Amino acid sequence: MLREEKMIVAFPVGHLLSLAKPVLALRGFINETLITFPNAPRPSYAVQVLSAFQERSLKPARIYEVRELQIALGLVAAGEGISIVPSSVHGLKRDDVVNRELDDPTLVSPIIMSMRMLDQSPDIREMLELIYRLYEQEKIPYAPRTDPAQ
């Protein structure tokens, strides 16, 4: 695991909940249509989001599962529902979707990099060095390094 990324909620512009407070709780979304992604393969980010609701004994009114993030955001923009998305979505800078923070710091998604066990290739070491250098430059918190390139 490289790091954990906070989950946030995406609303259509003008949605009443997006106007209420800058930080919101999952329990406030039980009457909403939740748009999750991806719908395959499993396990996936969608499973993480649905588990977050289940762990809090919450159930959204309706759940739409779509193939990918951009489809989910398009449906949110069209007013079809809301979506719990990774905070990196802020970087997309869409003007038809409003993002709000969630009040629970445990609502995170792991950012992982899979590689063959004991792989010592220079390419992987260089990729990890680049990732950690970027995290340092951008002041992005990350998990303690466990790679051989430390």
User: In the prediction, which pLDDT does 66 show?
Assistant: 97
All domains in the chain, ordered by first residue: 3-110 (3.40.190.10), 114-150 (no CATH)
- Statement: residue 139 has pLDDT above 80: yes
Tokens coding 32: 């909403």
- Name the pTM for this structure: 0.85
User: In the prediction, which pLDDT does 74 show?
Assistant: 97
Buried b (16+ CB within 10 A) or exposed e, 3-35: bbbbbbbbbbeebebbeeeeebebebbeebbbb
Q: What is the pLDDT of residues 99-117, one digit of tens each?
A: 999 999 999 999 888 888 8
Q: What is the CA radius of gyration of the chain?
A: 17
Q: What is the pLDDT of residues 22-71, one digit of tens each?
A: 899 999 999 999 999 998 888 899 999 999 999 999 999 999 999 999 99
In angstroms, rounded to a whole number, what is the distance separating the alpha carbons of residues 102 and 56?
14
Let me know how long the chain is: 150
- Statement: residue 147 has pLDDT above 80: no
Mean pLDDT of the chain: 92
Which of 55, 70, 75, 61 has the alpha carbon at shortest distance from 30?
61
